[in-house]
Amino acid sequence: MNETLIAFLYLIASVCFIMALRGLSSPETSRGGLLYGVVGMVIAIVTTVALPIVQSYWWIVGGIIAGGLVGTVIAQRIQMTALPQLVAAFHSLVGLAAVAVAAAAFYAPHKFGIGEVGNIHAGSLVEMGLGVAVGAVTFTGSVIAFAKLQALMSGAPLVFTGQHILNAALGIAIVVLIVALIVTQSQAAFWALVVVSLLLGFLLILPIGGADMPVVVSMLNSYSGWAACGIGFTLSNSLLIITGALVGSSGAILSYIMCKGMNRSIFNVILGGFGTDSGAAAAGAKSGDKPIKAGSAEDAAFIMKNASSVIIVPGYGMAVAQAQHALREMADLLKDEGAKISYAIHPVAGRMPGHMNVLLAEASVPYDEVFELEDINRDFAQADVAFVIGANDVTNPAAKTDPKSPIYGMPILDVEQAKTVLFVKRSMASGYAGVDNELFFRNNTMMLFGDAKKMCEDIVKSLG
């Protein structure tokens, strides 16, 4: 395959990836976007395997078969609620791959056309050093994110005195080690860079709380893209450079949009201090013996049957219970009764950007009924009922009233302004951020305790 044809096919693959990102920006075009991504990746793989420098196909074919089998098994078994931690795990593998490729290039530079051992081109060493640093940070950072999302470790922020100073020192050490690698080309400098970068990735994600994890997943996605981009320069592979840059920039833009929507600083995400303050209280006030109003499915059905406007607020609890189909059936019955139905989506509802949108689309909820926070918040004051199903932190008024709360300053859905709030929840347990929701104790709130799917099914029976 000649160089002109290779460049043309790589260009086609790059265009497909750009179209994939465009398509995935909306639920209505997401299927087409996914198809573009698949086509682009097939073209990329086939073209790369056909490169003249490839001398043996056994390892390549073996890797494709092994990876394909693992991916197929995961795709068949993974639950929607586990997608965030799966994405974090995949990000860690991208980071690890970047480190592995850099190590291969460092020990066998002649195979990559970047010089000889001890005499590697300076430019290649810069690219290699940056790829190693970003890749290692991505690997350990993603492992910590996976552990928090999988509840293998506490989702609460883990902070200690001098944490930011230590992170800054490690960042400076990485720069120094990259310079040392360029000057000395020693194995000690290379592996010291790997170790320090791995430690920094660990410390950057450790202090970030569970409520902020969707932004972290997005940012790690960006890191994995930049790691791939850096290694693309080492391999002199234009497609890997373009693809890595697309993933890195799109992840960074999404993280910025989410931070802006949550009134947070993008720099705090990058520096590992998102949503945390070592001097602030780690949690809000506890519930104590505050009274609540608890109701049944029949009570909820009666209230909503007489409502003219109902705003549904889905959250992670809906995802866990797989209640989206029963919820859609309930909404259809309410529309038959003359109620106006809307769905309110918070930017970080669930544990991954777009989590709730995907679930609602899976249940064939009309796209024109689904609204983002900035488009729906003003409507709560005129709504007869706000039906909160499994959402917690994103509806907590403490974000507006309690400066000591770890979620203070985060824009929330103003469900408390509705005439009646029906809150579906298994128990009075706090949300992922570890703080109690003041909304539970409001006079206009009725708690509906139980499994979200069963509660919706029981409401459907009562409406019928």
DSSP 338: T
pLDDT score at 409: 80
Using DSSP bridges, classify how beta strands 370-372 and 119-120 pair: parallel, antiparallel or unpaired: unpaired
* Mean pLDDT per 10-residue interval, the chain, length 464 residues: 86 94 82 93 91 83 90 83 81 91 91 87 90 93 86 74 87 95 94 96 81 76 87 85 90 80 68 49 50 92 94 90 93 94 87 78 89 92 95 88 80 93 88 78 93 95 89
- Helix H or strand E encompassing 445: strand 445-449
pLDDT score at 289: 61
pLDDT score at 273: 56
Tally of residues, the chain: 464
DSSP 294: B
pLDDT score at 14: 93
d(Cα 339, Cα 333) in Å, to the nearest integer? 9
| Cβ neighbours, 10 Å, residue 455 | 25
**459-to-4, 180, 344 alpha-carbon distances in Å:** 63, 67, 20
* Residue 365: partners with Cβ closer than 8 Å, 6 or more residues away: 324, 328, 331, 343
**3-state percent helix, strand, coil for the chain, nearest multiple of 5:** 65, 10, 30
CATH code of 297-463, in short, is 3.40.50.1220
d(Cα 210, Cα 98) in Å, to the nearest integer? 27
pLDDT score at 181: 94
Active site residues: 393
* Residue 384: partners with Cβ closer than 8 Å, 6 or more residues away: 306, 307, 308, 309, 310, 418, 419, 420
* Residue 334: partners with Cβ closer than 8 Å, 6 or more residues away: 304, 305, 307, 310, 341, 463
pLDDT score at 103: 93
| Cβ neighbours, 10 Å, residue 22 | 13
pLDDT score at 147: 86
Report the SS3 class of residue 37: helix
Whether 295 contacts 455, CB under 8 Å: no
* Rounded (10°) CA dihedral 286, 289, 290, 293: 120
pLDDT score at 284: 43
